[in-house]
């Protein structure tokens, strides 16, 4: 199904459910294996405006690079670029999300807002983009179907007090 066909369905008054808004853009994913020091440089180079870090004993919101090597996972964003860091057997897998807002007929995203635990105040919601890619392989039975591609951390919504 094309994005145009989807948008026609989205606007059809006969539907009893609302379909999410899909935005056409291009996402490039690049994964690298890094040491702790190399990963810290990558986070600092991103200059994140939002981020979180998960350790074995706590999860914290932070825009700074990790200072503890017992990091399990972390995500950072500067608005258009994001990093997803995951520790695997002492190696840090750093996935870089690079977005080009030029419309792409085979990639779309929708916004996703997730409620967070009360322990992360004053932050109440995390914002992600859920990316989908249309299968274009001529020989695939899934040709033309939209498949999940990635979940990109965008930032936080703060509680309004």
Q: Each residue of 93-124: pLDDT tens digit?
A: 999 999 999 888 899 999 999 887 766 556 67
The secondary structure of residue 144, as a DSSP letter, is T
Q: Each residue of 31-78: pLDDT tens digit?
A: 999 999 999 999 999 999 999 999 999 888 999 999 999 999 999 999
pLDDT surpasses 60 at 154? yes
Question: For residue 87, what are the contacts with CB-CB under 8 A and spacing of at least 6?
Answer: 71, 72, 73, 93
Question: Looking at residue 15, what is its pLDDT?
Answer: 57
What are phi and psi for residue 127, nearest 5 degrees? -110, 130
Average pLDDT in the chain = 86
Distance, CA of 95 to CA of 16 (rounded, Å):
38
8 pLDDT tier (thresholds 50, 70, 90): low
Which residue ranges make up each domain of the chain? 3-158
160 pLDDT tier (thresholds 50, 70, 90): very low
pLDDT surpasses 80 at 130? yes
Question: Looking at residue 121, what is its pLDDT?
Answer: 56
135 pLDDT tier (thresholds 50, 70, 90): confident
Whether 154 and 82 have beta carbons less than 8 Å apart is answered as yes
pLDDT surpasses 90 at 155? yes
């Amino acid at each position: 199904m094309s994005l145009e066909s989807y948008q026609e369905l989205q606007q059809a008054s006969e539907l009893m459910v609302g379909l999410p808004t899909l935005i056409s853009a291009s996402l490039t994913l690049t994964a690298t294996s890094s040491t702790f020091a190399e990963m810290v440089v990558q986070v600092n180079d991103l200059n994140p405006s939002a981020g979180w870090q998960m350790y074995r004993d706590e999860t914290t919101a932070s825009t700074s690079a990790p200072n503890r090597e017992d990091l399990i996972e972390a995500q950072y964003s500067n608005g258009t670029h994001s990093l997803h860091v995951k520790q695997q057997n002492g190696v840090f897998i750093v996935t870089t999300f690079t977005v080009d807002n030029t419309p792409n007929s085979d990639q779309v995203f929708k916004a996703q807002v997730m409620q967070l635990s009360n322990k992360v105040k004053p932050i109440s919601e995390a914002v992600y983009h859920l990316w989908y890619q249309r299968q274009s392989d001529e020989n695939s039975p899934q040709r033309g179907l939209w498949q999940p591609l990635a979940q990109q951390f965008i930032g936080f919504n703060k509680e309004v007090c």
